[in-house]
Amino acid sequence: MQNNSLTNTFEVRWSDIDANIHLRHSAYADFCAQARLRFLGEAGLTFDRFKELHIGPILFREELKYLKEVPFGEHITVETSMIKMREDASRWSIRHIIFREDGQKAAVVVVDGAWIDILKRKLTVLPEDLVQNFKNLPKSEDFELEPLKEKTI
């Protein structure tokens, strides 16, 4: 487990289990979404702040790699870290690594996202104070800072 991440622990509930008696595919995404909201909250990007600013995170891609089964009643740990960010924090990629109680890596979830103005339904940027907070979130060892691309006419 890595130190440069935010860690959350969850219990696998009966409602998280599929017909094969292990963690259902969509539950992985649900646990990671919860961990991601806590991660964003560390930067002051709380649900209340999103409502106030009329913005929210939007995902373009969510990729899940299953590695080990997770049974009912298990306590999983989700490590969340930033793996890529555009210089202005307008686009970003976050990685979640899910561990079983025995420490074995169970899954890796990577999401690519941005910010949407929920009234205009268009992509937007964060206010500058939140950009700085966002930039201070835990980053993976393989973190990439993506430079802004110059606009051409």
pLDDT digits (tens, 9 = 90+) for 77-127: 999 999 999 999 999 999 999 999 999 999 999 999 999 999 999 999 999
| Per-residue pLDDT at 42 exceeds 60 | yes
pLDDT score, position 4: 86
Rounded CA separation 84/92 (Å):
5
Q: What is the mean pLDDT of residues 9-17?
A: 96
Proportion of the chain in helix, strand, coil states, percent, rounded to 5: 25, 40, 35
Q: What is the rounded average pLDDT for all residues in the chain? A: 94
Rounded CA separation 112/131 (Å):
17
Q: What is the mean pLDDT of residues 31-49?
A: 96
pLDDT score, position 148: 87
**What global pTM score does this model have?**
0.92
Share of the chain above pLDDT 90, in %: 93
Tokens of 95: 């990685």
Rounded CA separation 148/66 (Å):
33
| Per-residue pLDDT at 36 exceeds 90 | yes
pLDDT score, position 149: 80
| Per-residue pLDDT at 146 exceeds 80 | yes
Q: What are phi and psi of 71, to 5 degrees?
A: -85, 170
pLDDT score, position 1: 46
Rounded CA separation 122/103 (Å):
41
